[in-house]
Amino acid sequence: MKEYLRLLSSRAGFMAVIGANLLVPDSSVLNLMGYILVDTSFDVFGFTHTDQSRGSASYRIIQKMFQFAVLLLIYIHVGPTAVIACLIASWLLVCDVLFYFALSLPLEPFSWFKESPVNFFFITILKRPVTPVWAVLVSSGLGFALAIAIAFSSR
């Protein structure tokens, strides 16, 4: 119980509470912000409470179901444009950079999530073993800007 209270009083807990309150009808931008915060918070809670050697696959299944449920809620409240903005933010590593911030971890070169455009470019095309931190930050910044632009375009 102490561990859960500690997590709720952490950055991730704060992000979860704020994010859940941003999931409101008729605002694509607020729903985008809510999705980023709620998705990142869920990942922080799940990652810190999952045995990485045995429970990673089952956690990822639960995480994808949670993401689907939140995106479905956003789709019902606001429509497809907000969902597209959320998916772009997630795909371009916005939530991943925020994950490192929430856990106060140093941002390290990425070698996972090879489906993201920046990782695909560095790992698959350039044949580098990892994606440099600067490229991850640029991808995240561009992803956030693009997602915001898409969210604003829906009204």
What local confidence, expressed as pLDDT, does residue 89 receive?
Answer: 94
| Packing angle of the helix pair 11-22, 28-48 (nearest 10 deg) | 150
pLDDT under 50: residue ranges of the chain:
1
Tell me the two tokens of residue 92. 């371009």
pTM of the model: 0.79
Q: Please list the residues that pair with 110 across neighbouring strands.
A: 131
The percentage of residues in the chain with a pLDDT greater than 90, rounded to a whole number, is 19
CA max distance for the chain:
47
How many other β-carbons are positioned within 10 Å of the β-carbon of residue 145?
Answer: 13
End-to-end CA distance of the chain: 43
Determine the pLDDT at residue 1: 45
What are the tokens at 77?
Answer: 């409240």
Structure tokens at 136: 């991850």
